[in-house]
Amino acid sequence: MTIRESKRLWLACGVGLAWFLLLLWPLLGIKPDGLEFTATFKVFGYVAVAAVFIMFFYQVKEAGYLDAVGTPAKQATNALSRAYEKAPTWLLLGIVLAAAVVYPLVTQRYAHDVAISVLIYICLGLGLNIVVGLAGLLDLGYIAFYGVGAYTYAILSINYGLSFWLCLPIAAVIAAVAGCIIGYPTLRMRGDYLAIVTLGFGEIVRLILNNWMSLTNGPNGILSIPRPELFGYEFRSLSSMYYVILALAVVTILAVYRLNYSRIGRAWEAIREDETAAELMGVNTFLLKLLAYAMGATFAGFAGAFFAARMKFVGPESFTFLESAMVLAMVILGGMGSIPGVILGVLALVALPELFRGFELYRMLVFGGAMTLMMLVRPAGIWPAKRVGRRSEEAD
């Protein structure tokens, strides 16, 4: 990096920091009883130190001083990924599955709780992955299907006393029907318009859940939903519930894997890459896009029914737009269309923040910032899918 480039970089950094101060001070410094400076400069100080440190690090890296550390690290990652390629898949999967089965035996209640939410989000993320990652339809109202599944189990079990195992497929079917209802009018749209319409549908579903007092009990939600039962054994403890969702997650992973490598999966990918071309090649885009919505919604329905049983309570505030954005962020962060990617994305966004409980207030702030940053530096995700191209209209 030349001195001139470096100067420009530092100038940009300085302007950015000054701008940040200008935006920050009015928010923190103007109080009804007078002007204040300490709080602003404390926050500004932290940010400025972090920014200068990052800039310094970046320059050192660009100058090549870090190659002594970076090259061996890169070699190690390469060796690791080669070992991963060579190792038989069944062995790796066996290890992961065994670890997942043993997990509740060696951990505490709090860890069970985190693991259960991780697994719920894996089901949701993989379901959304079908719609967004495989078929390329941006869905911002996905959480509505989760809500439909949860309420289906809640209402059927409270009013009619149906068992969890019977409600599970019913919830999935009703969610899939909801997926078709929402999917049908959006089939003619693409890109941004599709996103905004699905967002609208998601909000409509939430408003209905919130206001249909006689069916959903409105904002109060539905209480004391029973836990599942199997041959007289009630899944009362958290660890037994963990196994239920583990089974559901494994089924979801297998199903999504099989779908991905089926004719349907390939057709979805063709639609994602170039819808017009796919149609010309004889892909029935209408039916397949509808199917993508229905399949995605099915898994959300499963996850929703489990969620209702696990919390013993459902309320409309669990199904807000922010939840949709969270699930979408998991899919994007991990890598659209890639199953291990989505699982990594879920771990990054559900399990990691648990480690930083002390900073809980800042969680969503960091989350939003990370989402933007991720798009800027690595738009394909942590573990990108192997078969991804660029949409024809975006190719340069």
Using CB under 8 A, list all residues that contact another protein. 19-20, 22-24, 26-28, 30-35, 138, 185, 188-193, 195-197, 199-201, 203-204, 207-208, 210-211, 321-322, 325, 328-329, 332, 361-362, 364-365, 367-376, 379, 390-391, 393-394, 396
- Which residues, 6 or more positions from 312, have their beta carbon under 8 angstroms from its beta carbon? 223, 224, 225, 226, 227
Which residue's CB is nearer to another protein, number 355 or number 376?
376
Q: Phi and psi (nearest 5°) for 24?
A: -80, -40
Minimum distance from residue 390 beta carbon to another protein (Å)? 7
CA atoms within 13 A on the CB side of 60: 12
Minimum distance from residue 182 beta carbon to another protein (Å)? 10
DSSP alpha helix (H) spans, 89-163:
89-106, 109-128, 143-160
Which residue's CB is nearer to another protein, number 137 or number 171?
137
Query: Is the distance from CB of 329 to CB of 371 less than 8 angstroms?
Result: yes
The full DSSP string for 261-320 is TSHHHHHHHHHHH-HHHHHHTT--HHHHHHHHHHHHHHHHHHHHHHHHHHHS-B-GGGS-
Question: Residue 94: helix, strand or coil by DSSP?
Answer: helix
Minimum distance from residue 195 beta carbon to another protein (Å)? 6
Which residue's CB is nearer to another protein, number 52 or number 189?
189
Amino acid code (one letter) for 2: T
Minimum distance from residue 312 beta carbon to another protein (Å)? 27
Which residue's CB is nearer to another protein, number 15 or number 76?
15
Which residue's CB is nearer to another protein, number 79 or number 322?
322
Which residue's CB is nearer to another protein, number 234 or number 393?
393
DSSP alpha helix (H) spans, 187-274:
191-211, 213-216, 238-260, 263-273
Minimum distance from residue 264 beta carbon to another protein (Å)? 22
* Interatomic CA distance for residues 320 and 305, integer angstroms: 17
Q: Which helix H or strand E contains 365, and what residues bound it?
A: helix 363-377
Which residue's CB is nearer to another protein, number 305 or number 374?
374
* Interatomic CA distance for residues 258 and 271, integer angstroms: 18
- What's the start-to-end Cα distance of the chain, in Å? 28
Which residue's CB is nearer to another protein, number 28 or number 238?
28
Residues in a beta bridge with 34 = 31
Minimum distance from residue 89 beta carbon to another protein (Å)? 30
Query: Is the distance from CB of 194 to CB of 202 less than 8 angstroms?
Result: no
Minimum distance from residue 271 beta carbon to another protein (Å)? 15
Minimum distance from residue 199 beta carbon to another protein (Å)? 7
Residues in a beta bridge with 31 = 34
Which residue's CB is nearer to another protein, number 154 or number 325?
325
Minimum distance from residue 179 beta carbon to another protein (Å)? 15
Minimum distance from residue 274 beta carbon to another protein (Å)? 11
Query: Is the distance from CB of 245 to CB of 103 less than 8 angstroms?
Result: no
Which residue's CB is nearer to another protein, number 3 or number 361?
361
Query: Is the distance from CB of 134 to CB of 270 less than 8 angstroms?
Result: no
Q: Are strands 233-234 and 229-230 parallel, antiparallel or unpaired?
A: antiparallel
